[in-house]
Structure 1
Amino acid sequence: MVDGLVERGFEAVRDAFAQAQAEDEGAAQLCVYRHGRVVVDLWAGQNPISGKAWDGDSLSILMSVSKGVTATCVHILIERGQLELSAPVREYWPEFAAGGKADITVAELLAHRAGLPGFDPAAEIGAQDLTDWSMCTTALASMTPLWQPGTAYYYHSITWGYLAGELIRRVSGKGVGDFLAAEIAGPLELSLWIGLPESEEPRVVPQFSRKQQPTPEQVAAVLAGMGIDVDAPLIRTLLAAVATREDGVALLNTREGHAAEVPAGNAIGNARSLARMYAATIGEVDGIRLLSPATVDRARQPQTDGLRGPAPLDILPVTHRFANGYEIEGPAHAMLGSGSFGHVGTGGRISFAHPESGVAVGYTCTNMIWDDVAGPDPRWLPWIAALQEALD
């Protein structure tokens, strides 16, 4: 069963969403804005774990879709002249210059080129420590990059949020959650938080997964079989991150995980709010526009095309394409073609804007089935194709 509404001309999007969710045991939402107006607002499914009711107003964890929310905060500050992409990070965060990082620029940090894709294993930061902002940012400020910054890129899955979030804090005087509330969620009346108030907790529907995640030992065995030195510092750092993944995902389903600020992955919201936020980055929504056209064009410029992963991971295929904090359409991330910018999230969430068509999209789900190595989530493809056809 699919509930919600679509404008005339978008009926095929509803049918495609129903088709995509037919075999999904979890719940999902899809919202689409065009030229500042809602044209699709749909939801389907239920949650077999909690039994909580699900509708268009329900909230769920957004995983790395959170990075696109945080990137929007960063670009508001860039537009105001409080941050500069070409400036070294140390200008705003002096302690960051330690460990040979004095020349890393804001742009390199935003585009996952800074060489800090995980915490140094010696820092002994476990999943529970991810709620300790000072501990995490201090560890990153003192860390030595794992490759020559700017020369390669690799997804900073957790650390990116502390890096970008600390820039926001240093420049604005607000934590990323407070900045989001004051500058984006409040003015646009969004149900979107990084650091969820306890009063909103009853609206949150937990995520779940039936997939068995590989252990660090299994990942190490696969890499060794490819001829990769698993004792290299980069690999040891990434294996340490794998070791905390299961506990980290579990943390995000707790009140403590909801209340903390983990800007790489613990934003909580719904598809309506995501689509509305992205719509306000590319045009006016009820009189509010977050970013100018010039800022949007600067934000979505490719920053990793032509680069590969750092050694010894440079033999692996490239799946992500990054702009200045946002993802752009790539092998694993179907959007609406060239010019799209946004972010995907572990398990299958996705949200993005396409300025050329005036479209902004939010899609959330509770069943974590997607693995970006295998290409786009099959739940996206039917409704993205139908949406493209409706726009043509």
Structure 2
Amino acid sequence: MQSALGSPIDGLKSAGFERVVDAFRRTFGARGELGGAVAVTVDGSAVVDLWGGWRGPDRQRAWDRQTLTNVRSATQGLMAICVLQLVENGDLDLEAPAARYWPELAGCGGSIIPVCWLLSRCCGVSGTTLDSRMTSDARLDLPILERRFVEQKLSGELAAIGSRGGMSYGYLVGRVIERSIGQTTSQFFAANVAAPLNVDVHIGVDSRDLSRCSAFGGFMSADDRSSMKMPPVSTVELGGYATALGLATVYGALADGSGRLLTPDTIELGRARQGQCVEVAAGLHGEFGLGFALGGEQRGFGPNPRAFGYGSHGGSVGFADPEHGIGFAYVTNGAGSVLRDDPRTMALVDALYSCL
């Protein structure tokens, strides 16, 4: 790759991807970006790796290649990879009732809810009410969280339309992972996804890495993160930390046909359409596979309706496009103005596909 130097950004890009550089530079102008990074892999090789701006609202430390960012809800795509690996290994049965792995969940319908419904957001157990009545400290207390979930009642109405509360996916899926293998999602991801690819992507942040984490304006301070050396399973939905290159490499491994993380058949299983879902907390409609959001007009994953990944309200996103061999990631600490298809992400994705 060639240098892409030019204030306010730095990094490398391959010939032919100049439009991505231009679009990224504009995020710091007209779109008012604080700090961020974008990376693209094609057929397993990095073709774009750019970063720029500031690590926090105080604008005291410049973003660099090793800056870690909390990717918030984009963590859900990383969790989906973990689940699908467990399915491949025979440790999880997607059609089995969730209560097989988490017996206490039977009280709220877990004896009739299959694991696949948790992944496709059609389980009828919404975290909306749960989220609104819980303090920040309570959300980090695993026993409290588990008790709140098992005390909920299955909503037939929500099950009929599909549902997702603001924090429920991470709690439910993460707990099933932990109960099935005796490891946290953080531990499993580190050993089976991050280590084989040698990528700077984590579920949870080690105290040794706090100094290189970016800070969201008003979302999570350094003090908040300091207690999250390895967060409990309950925090995993919002607990993913990554560089753009690391996240793009993960999705690139799902797009390049290498089978490094999942076999082609399992990838097809993961992106098989499960139907429309209403994200109850946000009032948004979308279509999901098994753990992944799917491409199309409603998602910022480019023109391929079979692309898959996950994004967040903050703007961070990662996705795979196997038909084009693309792994894409954009990570940011700037607050997003919309809940989906952030204009910063959309501009970068549009620029990428115009280069192909």
TM-score (norm 2): 0.89
Query: 1:170 maps to which residue?
Result: 179
Q: How much does 1:365 deviate?
A: 0.6
Query: 1:26 maps to which residue?
Result: 34
Q: How much does 1:302 deviate?
A: 1.6
Aligned match for 2:167, one of 146, 155, 158: 158
User: Any gaps of 5 or more consecutive residues in structure 2?
Assistant: 1-7
Which shows bigger deviation, 273-282 or 146-155? 146-155
**Distance (Å, rounded) in 1 between the aligned partners of 2:156 and 2:279:** 10
Amino acid at match of 2:350: A
Aligned match for 1:341, one of 308, 327, 339: 308
Query: 1:273 maps to which residue?
Result: 246
Q: How much does 1:388 deviate?
A: 0.9
Query: 2:12 maps to which residue?
Result: 5
CA separation of 1:317 and 1:100: change in aligned 2, threshold 3 A: closer
Query: 1:366 maps to which residue?
Result: 333
**Distance (Å, rounded) in 2 between the aligned partners of 1:290 and 1:121:** 34
Q: How much does 1:252 deviate?
A: 8.7
Amino acid at match of 2:286: H
**Distance (Å, rounded) in 2 between the aligned partners of 1:206 and 1:107:** 34
Q: How much does 1:73 deviate?
A: 0.7
Q: How much does 1:346 deviate?
A: 1.7
Q: Is the 8 A contact 2:272 2:289 kept in 1?
A: yes
Q: Is the 8 A contact 1:331 1:376 kept in 2?
A: no
Q: Deviations over 1:288-347 (max 9, x none)?
A: 700111111110112233x5578xx9xx97433211111112554211221111100121
Aligned match for 1:379, one of 328, 344, 354: 344
CA separation of 1:57 and 1:93: change in aligned 2, threshold 3 A: same
CA separation of 1:294 and 1:143: change in aligned 2, threshold 3 A: same
Query: 1:219 maps to which residue?
Result: none
Q: Is the 8 A contact 1:62 1:345 kept in 2?
A: yes
**Distance (Å, rounded) in 1 between the aligned partners of 2:298 and 2:134:** 30
CA separation of 1:279 and 1:6: change in aligned 2, threshold 3 A: same
**Distance (Å, rounded) in 2 between the aligned partners of 1:309 and 1:120:** 13
Query: 1:354 maps to which residue?
Result: 321
**Distance (Å, rounded) in 1 between the aligned partners of 2:204 and 2:338:** 26
Query: 2:202 maps to which residue?
Result: 193
Residues 255-334 of structure 1 mapped to structure 2, 5 A cutoff: 255-257=226-228, 259-261=230-232, 262-283=235-256, 289-305=260-276, 318-334=284-300
Give the 3-state SS of the residue equivalent to 1:272 in structure 2.
helix
Query: 1:389 maps to which residue?
Result: 354
Give the 3-state SS of the residue equivalent to 2:51 in structure 1.
strand
Q: Is the 8 A contact 1:52 1:205 kept in 2?
A: no
1:38 aligns with 2:56: no
- Greater strand share, structure number: 2
**Distance (Å, rounded) in 1 between the aligned partners of 2:127 and 2:244:** 29
CA separation of 1:370 and 1:155: change in aligned 2, threshold 3 A: farther
**Distance (Å, rounded) in 2 between the aligned partners of 1:264 and 1:355:** 25
CA RMSD of aligned residues (A): 2.5
Query: 2:72 maps to which residue?
Result: 63
Query: 2:4 maps to which residue?
Result: none
CA separation of 1:121 and 1:87: change in aligned 2, threshold 3 A: closer
| Seq. identity, % | 28
**Distance (Å, rounded) in 2 between the aligned partners of 1:251 and 1:264:** 19
**Distance (Å, rounded) in 2 between the aligned partners of 1:267 and 1:326:** 15
User: Any gaps of 5 or more consecutive residues in structure 1?
Assistant: 210-245
**Distance (Å, rounded) in 2 between the aligned partners of 1:52 and 1:122:** 33
Q: Is the 8 A contact 2:52 2:62 kept in 1?
A: no
Give the 3-state SS of the residue equivalent to 2:343 in structure 1.
coil
1:103 aligns with 2:112: yes
Give the 3-state SS of the residue equivalent to 1:66 in structure 2.
helix
**Distance (Å, rounded) in 2 between the aligned partners of 1:252 and 1:185:** 26
Q: Is the 8 A contact 1:17 1:383 kept in 2?
A: yes
Q: How much does 1:139 deviate?
A: 2.3
Amino acid at match of 2:306: G
Structure 1 residue runs of 4+, over 4 Å off? 119-124, 249-253, 307-310
**Count of aligned positions:** 344
**Distance (Å, rounded) in 2 between the aligned partners of 1:90 and 1:334:** 34
Give the 3-state SS of the residue equivalent to 1:263 in structure 2.
helix
**Distance (Å, rounded) in 2 between the aligned partners of 1:196 and 1:367:** 19
Q: Is the 8 A contact 1:50 1:206 kept in 2?
A: no
